[in-house]
Amino acid sequence: MQIRTRKFIGTVLMIILVLSWALFFMAVAQGRVAQAGAIVQFVYYVVAGVGWVIPAGLIIKWMSRPD
């Protein structure tokens, strides 16, 4: 697969990842985290805010592989 094709697929995957990640964690935050204590909320939002970086990094690594 050419790098140009991988970059296009990777870009689409990144958009899907970020949108689905944000929607999922917003839904969970509305239901369960809103009633939790401050420390639980802090940990949840740190994980939810930074957790998408690992799968995004794997997608970027795949996108930048040489032909």
What does the pLDDT look like over 21-65, one tens digit per residue? Answer: 999 999 999 988 888 889 999 999 999 999 999 999 999 999 998
Structural contact between residues 48 and 27, judged by C-beta atoms closer than 8 angstroms: no
Q: How far is CA 37 from CA 23, 30, 33, in A?
A: 22, 14, 8
Amino acid 38 reads A
Question: Rounded to two decimals, what is the model's pTM?
Answer: 0.81
Q: What is the C-alpha to C-alpha distance for residues 4 and 18, in angstroms, rounded to an integer? A: 21
The reported pLDDT for the residue numbered 35 is 86
**Closest C-alpha to 62, from 6, 14, 12:** 6
Helix, strand or coil for residue 50? Answer: helix
13 pLDDT band (50/70/90 cuts)?
very high
